[in-house]
Amino acid sequence: MGGLSIWHWIIVLVVVVLVFGTKRLRNAGKDLGEAVKGFKEGMRDPDKPAGQLSDERSAEPQDKAEAERDRAQH
């Protein structure tokens, strides 16, 4: 009962592709990548909720007064 060889892993990979299909695996990989990216963004600034990080990037305020005005509106 040794470790798994490369041939075992290739057989497992082929079975997974046959069961799930390449499109589903591609979507799962994309979703996993986005989840990891969101986790990393969330870890950068623990004071801000994750939803605010992407909102601030799309429309960055020019000064602090504008940022405070935007926060007060939401």
Amino acid found at 12: V
pLDDT for 73 beyond 90:
no
Kindly report, residue by residue over 27-40, the tens digit of the pLDDT: 999 999 999 999 99
2 phi/psi in degrees, rounded to 5: -90, -170
* Tokens 């009962």 belong to residue: 1
| DSSP code for 1 | -
- CA dist 9 and 21 (Å) reads 17
Mean pLDDT of 2-23: 89
